[in-house]
Structure 1
């Protein structure tokens, strides 16, 4: 299942799947923050798929520059980079962090990036509360960068199929007035974005 929309030349997509199998240039991971690498199920899956080297690289990077966004290689994964974000339950902080992650990905020359459903796993936040700030950040970034940036695809990869419809609705509700559904929307339903 997937659904997509456009903001200028950027495709924003929600899809059901495994973020470690994404073909984006970069993926995003949510970590507990601080100098020690740790987090929930997505963090463990990424570290395992990357060959276990990510934890050491994260800790070395964090030691040289303590920040809430740490960039590492992708280890054995197909992607070029992993952006590790400090987990948050605050929607305003989430929006800011997603926006800054997109800006960092742009400055690193990435053309595509995939996010998980941040805050909805081990943190247990309500998806309705966390989805909108993510798409607001993507909308704002897309309107600012438009056709002049390197990023042309931003995905939210949903592992739990039950969250897909909520994130799809949030995408259309948040960026719907700025874009239309992409013609390649291959969702099985006949739903269209709200007008």
Structure 2
């Protein structure tokens, strides 16, 4: 494992993968008829993938785009455009970042660049693992992505990738190499490493200062044993790491100040808070230690409840203000209309037969007396009161308050009994 991401290397056909997404290396035209992997994807996935690629149009070298997967068993295809020796690491990082942004949890990728592009397999293997490590470092406690499966058809290249993973664990590192190391250890990682490889206190102490994640290479006699080990490790990680996704339509209405306050709290608890906007929905991710995540989640719920209350008030205001307007006499001795929300608040109190209502307007407090139809400034009691007025809009009608409604019901019953005297005989 590299951080919270399980990395697997296997021989197989990437077009049969069941991960959420697979990766395809292509050209600027997203032409699936060019390249062995692209052709296999086209044959297995069908014409709809081609149509979507044509809709996206020509791409710049180094671009990374995502499409649906047609008839394939995965949901998405991430297309990386024109990879070169110089842009390989940047392209792989782009793939991981795009997967993360789209909430993808599992990803299968080939040995990018080793086919028609002719990039050395050893170089591709080394850089692939290095980039995954860099991605974990940059996005610590921020991953949707939990599984990267490197699926390679050619057995010799599978061996090269497996050797590259082994080298990450066995190659000695010096004190000067720490900034460039690709061995990632943490509190959980050190425990797992001791269980599998024995203690190394001096090295662990140095690494823990720099990193907070781990690379773990698992070897076993069968795939079943490997899967069992992975499940055990994931259960251990889940005890140390919590990922809460808040999927609420009001998330996108959190203000910059709200997010700033959340991040301040999150930073103090070593928790990561970030938004993922897919266009149709915005989700808030909270990641870190379970108890700390719970604290931040509670704060988020409080902010969202405030937004919900504001939305309810706005809806009610529009309803109550639909047929009436409330006005106050301004300094020019002209009647000026209150804004929609304030009108709704005033009308709601009036309909509920309140004697008065206190308003917060532009950082000031004002009180309207419905009997006198006057507004007074509570922050400046010595100031003169202001006349207010209630008017029906053209074609509008006033809503009935509770007393008026019951009076109308009783009158209707009396009228009905007069017109239908037999109905009152039981």
1:42-191 correspondence to structure 2 within 5 Å: 42-62=37-57, 68-90=63-85, 92-174=86-168, 177-178=183-184, 179-182=215-218, 186=222
Q: Does structure 1 conserve the Cα–Cα contact (< 8 Å) formed by 2:25 and 2:112?
A: yes
**Structure 2 CA distance for partners of 1:29 and 1:177, relative to 1, 3 Å:** same
Give the superposition deviation at 1:97: 1.0
CA distance in 1, matches of 2:94, 2:183: 23
Deviation at 1:146, TM superposition (A): 3.6
The whole-number CA distance in structure 2 between the counterparts of 1:123 and 1:66 is 17
Residue deviations 1:55-92 (CA, integer Å, cap 9, x gap): 221121135x75721211000112111011113231x4
1:93 Cα deviation from its structure 2 partner: 0.8
Unaligned 5+ segments in structure 2 are: 170-181, 185-214, 224-426
Kept after mapping to 1: 8 A contact 2:52/2:67: yes
Question: How many Å apart are 1:36 and its aligned residue?
Answer: 4.5
In the aligned structure 1, how far is the partner of 2:120 from the partner of 2:136? 25
TM-score, normalised to structure 2, is 0.40
Query: What's 1:31 paired with?
Result: 26
Q: How many residues align?
A: 180
> Equivalents in 2 of 1:143, 1:184: separation in Å?
28
Structure 1: give runs of 5+ residues left out of the alignment: 1-5, 188-195
Residue 53 of structure 1: SS of its match in structure 2?
Answer: helix
Q: What is the rounded CA distance, in whole Å, between the counterparts of 1:177 and 1:25 in structure 2?
A: 27
Instruction: Compare 172-181 and 76-85 and name the one that shifted more.
Output: 172-181
1:183 deviates by 6.4
1:3 match: none
Task: Please give the secondary structure, in 2, of the residue aligned with 1:12.
Answer: strand
Structure 1 residue 39: deviation in Å?
A: 2.7
Match of 1:192 in 2: none
Partners of 2:166 and 2:137 lie apart in 1 by 16
More displaced stretch, 10-19 vs 47-56: 47-56
Instruction: Determine helix, strand or coil for the equivalent of 1:7.
Output: coil
**Whole-angstrom distance in 2 between the partners of 1:113 and 1:21:** 13
Q: Give the Cα separation in 2 of the matches to 1:7 and 1:35.
A: 31
Which whole-Å CA distance do the structure 1 matches of 2:78 and 2:153 have between them?
A: 18
CA distance in 2, matches of 1:35, 1:146: 32
Cα offsets for 1:140-190 (capped at 9, x unmatched)? 112232443111001110111121110112233357622222366847xxx
RMSD across aligned positions (CA): 2.2
Inter-CA distance 81–184: structure 2 relative to 1 (3 Å threshold) = farther
Name the structure with the higher helix share.
Answer: 2
Change (3 A) 1:55 1:165: same
Deviations 1:110-135 (A, max 9, x none): 00111111111122222012222221
Q: Secondary structure at the match of 2:156?
A: helix
Larger Cα-atom Rg = 2
* SS of the residue 2:104 aligns to: coil
